[in-house]
Structures are given as C-alpha cells and as structure tokens.
Chain A
Amino acid sequence: MGTPRKPEESYGLLAEFEEGEALLEAARQAHAAGYRQMNGYTPFPVHGLSQALGQKPTRLPLLVLVGGIVGGSAGYFMLYYASVISYPINVGGRPLHSWPAFIPITFEMAVMGAALAAFLGMLALNGLPHPYHPLFNVPVFSLASQNRFFLCIQAGDPLFDLVQTRQFLEGLHARVHEVQP
C-alpha cells in the first residue's frame, strides 16, 4: 500500500459507467474490497445500489410517523381547547367534547404534519440545500443527471490511495476522474 494522500489534496476518485448494472457491480466489488467512504451517483434511482454500498436504511419513516402524531395531536388539542376550555358553548345540552366532529380536522392536521416531515425530513437527512459540492468541479459529472452512472471513492476512506484506487476502478472498466476539493 502506498503512502495515503491527505484528504485536502483530493476529494476522491470518480469512476464513470455507461449503465446502472455496471455501477451496481462496481459498488459491490468496491464494498467487498473494503472501501466504505463512497457513494454512487445516478440519473434515476438504481435499486439495490444503496445496499450494495453498505448504506443503512433511512430513518425517514420514523420521522414521518412522529410528524403525523405531532400534527394530529396538536390538531386535536386545538379543537379540544377551543371547544371545551377556551369558549365552551352549551347548545341544547350537547357534549362540549364532541370528538366525532373533531376527526376530520385531526386527520387533516396529521396528514399535514406527516407530509411536512416527509418532505423536510428528506431534505434535511440528504443535507439539502447544498449548493456547492466538489463533484460539481468535474465537468463530466453534469451527466450524472442525464445518462451516466458514477461511483466516487472518497479520499477520506482509510484504504484510499490515489494510484491503487485508480487501478482498482480502472480494473472495473470505468473511466476515472480525479475530484478536486
């Protein structure tokens, strides 16, 4: 193994593939070779890529559940507070806490909370908005949003070596580009 380069000299190496299957195979091999700090970039979701790269399943569903529960309970509490505590009106002896009439708004508020959690949670967990990223320095990376598939092994990975990693990636029949930080 050669002398590891310092991360600030390079962000990593970017391998370019024509097809999603080639990228998926490369991701499996890179994971098997022990690389961990890496990511795949594709113009549409390639199923199984995230798992092949060894990424954990997202916690987003939990966040959405919490969002829904918070939204729904806040909605119900508001209805209860308004109708029973803040401004109780006796209409012909009907109950103040008339829960069946509170269901629609509670439901709407639960959906609102869950949907906001899904959208904002997805952005937050993805670290978006994120206008600048070193990968944008590589001209060919603009094809990641069109018709090319990329695998980036980051310089921060303990196994990363500019020469050996490049050879490893070229062994996978990829064109390799260096990413400036």
Chain B
Amino acid sequence: MSQSPHDEPDLTGVPQGTAVESPVIQPGHTYASVTDQISAIVLTRPTSHGWIFGFAVSFTLLMVFLYATAYLFAKGVGIWGTTIPVGWAFPIVNFVWWIGIGHAGTLISAVLLLLHQEWRTSINRFAEAMTLFAVSCAGLFPLLHLGRPWLFYWLLPYPNTMDLWPNFRSPLIWDAFAVTTYFTVSILFWYAGLIPDMSTLRDRARNRLAQLVYGMMALGWRGSAAHWHRYETAYLLLAGLATPLVASVHSIVGMDFAAALVPGWHTTFSPPFFVAGAIFSGFAMVMTLMIPLRWAYGLQDFVTLRHLDNMAKVILATGSMMAYGYAAEVFFAYYSGNKYERYLTVNRALGPYAWSYWSLIACNVVAPQFLWFQSVRRNVSALFIVSLIVNIGMWLERFVIVVISLHRDFLPSSWRIYSPTIWDFTHLIGSVGLFLTLLFLFIRLLPMISIFELRELVHKTNEET
C-alpha cells in the first residue's frame, strides 16, 4: 500500500527489461481471484499432510525447548557451558541472531513502503509475522540467561521497596526498552495490516466459529472511505516511526558490545555494522522460509522470481557491507596499535576457534558472491541454499564476536577454552521449534499475504497495462 498514486513504473527501481520478464504479480488476476486464492489457504483448503508433519516436528522441538527450560530453572545456568571468562556465550549469540532475523519484517514493511517498492506487497505480511516470532525467540534468551529469570521485572523501572532504579546509563537497559518498543510497534503494525483482511475472512467464512473469531479480529471494519483514509495515514505514520526504530534497535544491541572494553567489541562502528548484519540475516531468513512456502501453497503468482531476485540483491548489497566490516575490523586492529586488539585479530584467524572465523567468512563473504550472477538469482534452489548458508554464517558471526573476544581478553592467566554443552544446543534448536510452531500456526490461521494490498496491486497493474 502506498499513500500517493504513482504512475512512473521506474519507481520500482528495477530495470524495465527485468520488470517485463517477471512482473510483481502474474497477469490475469482479478480482485476476486486474489481474494479467493489467498483466503482459501486459510478457509477452505484441507490441512495438508505437509503442514501436519511440519507442525508436528516444530511442536516437538518446542516441547524440547520447554523441557530444557524447565531443567534450566531447576538447575541454574550451570547446565550451559557458559563460564567465566565467557559469561555471554550461546544465549547471547542466540539473542543477537534472532533479533537480527527479526529486522527484515519491519524493513520490508516500513522502509520499502516509504520507498514505494511495490514488490514488497506479497512478502510484507509474512515478513512481519516472522519478525514477531523471531523477536519472541530473541526476547527469551536474555531472560533465561539472567540466572534468576523470575526476577526479570527488575529490568523495568517501577517504584519498589528496595528504592532502586535500573542503571539507565547502561546500553543493556536501553536494550530492554528498545526490544520492548520494537516488539510492541511490530505487533501494532502487523495487526493494523491484518484488520482489513480479517473483514474479508469474516465475510467469506462459512463456519460459525471462524466468522465469530475473524469478525472479532476485524473490529467491525467496513472499508469506508473515511476508515481507509485514517487507516492509510496511520499505516504510513507507523512505517515512518518503525524505520528509525529498526535502526535504533540493532544499534543498541551493537552498543551492548561497544560500551564494554573487551577487545573486538570496543569500537564505534559496532552499531552500523550490526544493523547491516541484521538486514542481511533477516532477508536471508525471509528467503529461506518463502521459497518452500510459495512452492507448498502454489503462490508463485504472487511471490514471483522478481521478489526473489530483489531480495537476493539486498542480500548481496548487505553482504558486501559485511565484507567491508570484516576488513575494517582487521584494519582497525592493526591501525589502533593496541596489542590486545591485534592479538584478538590474530586469535580469530589462527586461534582455537579459527574454524568458526573462516566458516563465517565462507558463509557471509564468499557465498553471497554467487548472487552477482542473474542465473543464480533466478535459480530457486540455489537461492535457497545461499540463504541457508547466510543464516548459518550470521549465527557464526555472533559466536565469533561473543566467544572469541571473551575467551582470551587481557590477562592470559584467566584465559579459558569455552565449549558448549548439550543444553546449549538444545536451547538453540528448541528456539527454532518455537519459531516454526508459531509460523506454522500463522500460515494455517491467518492470510500470509496481504489480500487487500494485492487487490490494490491488481488495480495498479491493470491501470498500467
């Protein structure tokens, strides 16, 4: 959806040749056909075996996560490999990884909306949902890592009998505010986008329960001119608010590191570097999920090769920024003349965790280079593999930042080799289960593509031809 009608097709930012080759939506669709096809996934199509199987696997992993969490609460953080000097380890790696993934939704929805990128329409709803679920996973890890998670509310400023406040000068508390705000604004943005589609489902549902539930969620939406006018204003304003917000959230995550004196963390360039990494991993995750979904639900008409091509270009661009970042890190270490920074750089490349550093370079710097070729950007399986590799690479990047910096800092007498336990992996894989469970429920119960925006797109496409 966009605020002003725009007739110049050049605004899509894609060369005309490409645009003709694969449109944002396959021609021949009408308002009714897009409405039918998307709402049918939720309302009339039987639940597929693939869905049941996928949901069962995800739900099992979620149960594993809950089991691990119960065990953690009973035993304490000692079940993890987290030990001084590596006091952050897996939980924080997972936190930063998930929150980074959670950046694509808002980016696709808000930034691309403000930039009039019409191709966002078919993927924004899904990306927003992905954001919510990824941020939910992310939010759990710092809480689990607290040691006494039942005291998590100490993070919040509230009048208390201890007469204490959180340390407002610490980036860690900024982070609590940033993630809370980001989660809230993402929910509002997502729900606002859903309201008109809920009215569509309400009006199409034949089942009484579905009519009631979707009817309640639609809040009595009638699609009146006055409603739409305020709705579009609100949506655009939310997009305008979310854009600086999304940059602030991962910047503050970057500051969590930058404010510490640890070698490899204490650098002013952490915030922009983290934001680029977040966009990189977020787009990769959207691609990893969208490619199987469009195939399973026959959505190739709406999520076309054009979308995949554009996302691949974003991944390539942000991947190049990451490559620049890795090069800059090495240069800074050399140029600072600081022996701890220099040692860290050598230790990353040649130390006991060198495997993680070089895997990271292979995943985040080498793998995206294939996206320079149009033949790769138009090969769905190749894209899927590259996006999967990028996801792994971004996890490794956080591992490199957190673990390698901490395990050997200033004092050789306190160096120690960190090794994760089975519970570290259980929580990581379990959180993927939580994420996928929510995602499976979402694609079964809510329209995964914004129907009213597709109708608008059909309207615009018809006008142009």
Contacts and interface: CB of A to CB of B under 8 A. Distances in A.
Interface stretch (B90-98, B171-179, B377-385, B410-418): B171-179
Nearest to A82: B165
Contact of A60 (B31, B204, B237): B237
Contact of B168 (A101, A133, A143): A101
A118 B459 contact: no
B200 interface: yes
A108 B246 CA distance: 11
Contact of A122 (B192, B245, B456): B192
Contacts of A98: 169
A39 interface: yes
Contacts of A83: 165, 168-169
B222 A135 contact: yes
Interface in A27-70: 27, 39-47, 49-50, 53, 55, 57-58, 60-61, 64, 68
Interface stretch (B71-79, B228-236, B321-329): B228-236
Given A40-B225, A104-B174, A114 B164 contact: no
A90 interface: no
Interface stretch (B180-188, B292-300, B338-346, B389-397): B180-188
Contacts of A135: 222
B169 A144 contact: no
Interface stretch (A4-12, A124-132, A161-169, A170-178): A124-132
Contacts, number: 189
Given A43-B455, A145-B196, A111 B165 contact: no
Nearest to A124: B230
A148 to B, nearest CB: 9
A118 B224 contact: no
A159 interface: no
B35 interface: yes
A59 B53 CA distance: 49
Interface residues of B, number: 65
A148 B2 CA distance: 21
B113 interface: no
A55 B227 CA distance: 11
A24 B1 CA distance: 19
Contact of B220 (A44, A53, A55, A131): A131
Interface string A72-108: 0000001100110011000000000010011011011
Contacts of B456: 44-45
Q: Which size class do A's interface residues fall under?
A: 35 or more
Contacts of A180: none
Contact of A126 (B180, B202, B231): B231
Nearest to A91: B169
B353 interface: no
A147 B225 contact: no
B147 to A, nearest CB: 24
A60 B157 contact: no
Given A44-B452, A111-B241, A115-B189, 7 more contacts: A39-B225, A47-B4, A60-B237, A98-B169, A101-B169, A108-B180, A145-B202
Interface of B: 1, 4-5, 30-32, 35, 157, 163-165, 168-169, 171, 173-174, 177-178, 180-181, 184-185, 188-189, 191-192, 195-196, 199-200, 202-204, 215-216, 219-234, 237-238, 241-242, 244-245, 248, 252, 255, 452-453, 455-456, 459
Q: Which 6 residue pairs of A and B lie closest in terms of their CB atoms, listed nearest first?
A: A122-B234, A130-B220, A147-B31, A142-B203, A129-B219, A82-B165
